[in-house]
Amino acid sequence: QAYLDKGYKDFTDRWSPILDVFEEVDVNFALEVHPTEIAFDTASAKRALEAVNQHRRFGFNYDPSHLGYQGVDYVKFIRDFSERIYHVHMKDAWWGHGDGSVGVFGGHTDFTDSRRYWDFRSLGHGDIQFEDIIVALNDIGYAGPLSIEWEDGRMDRVHGGAEAAAFTRKVDFKPNTSAFDAAFDQKNQ
């Protein structure tokens, strides 16, 4: 535990002055929650926020593909950090489809190896439930971009990129701004 505490202290010492400058110039920093970062799941994201004293300029680049295969509830993450989602990646992954010989850490195998427990997939071809994500983003009032981060070693990039753009346009529905039964309100028609 002491080693981990020392790492978070180092994170605080390095990032707090940077975040103060971001405050001066009115810029947010969005850390991509990722297994190679100090924040890689919900618990570590909370700890990272605590380490920088909840600095308002520190938030997250939300990418469901890095959460789902770890078993993290990627929709709940949006709700847990509703004030800290500063950017969103649209990126898909599937998990649990390997042959059982390579675990979640990848077993030193290449992406597209059929033994892998998980892999990135083109949008709409994985296990991420994007409609649930859009509902949650709408619920928290997220109005930023949905940036496609396309990665799929099994698909042609040109085909996949075009398909991903179409998929994102299809699932990016805007929130309802009036009561669903307002059409029946005779007084306001």
CA distance 138 to 189: 27
* Cα–Cα distance for residue pair 121/94, rounded to 1 Å: 7
pLDDT over 70 percentage in the chain? 96
Compute the average pLDDT of residues 112-135.
97
Domains detected in the chain: 2-92+129-175 (3.20.20.150)
Exposure letters 161-187 (e unless 16+ CB within 10 A, then b): bebbeebbeebeeeeeeeeeeeeeeee
User: Measured between alpha carbons, how far is 115 from 107 in angstroms, rounded to an integer?
Assistant: 9
**Tokens, residue 73:** 């509830």
Please name the helix (run of DSSP H) or strand (run of DSSP E) that holds residue 132, with its range, or none.
Answer: helix 130-140
Residues in the chain: 189
Looking at the predicted structure, is the pLDDT value of residue 46 above 80? yes
Note the pLDDT tens digit of each residue in 149-181.
999 999 999 999 999 999 999 999 999 887 777
pLDDT in tens, 58-115: 999 999 999 999 999 999 999 999 999 999 999 999 999 999 999 999 889 999 999 9
Q: Look up residue 87 and give its amino acid.
A: H
CA distance 17 to 138: 33
Answering whether pTM is above 0.85, one says yes
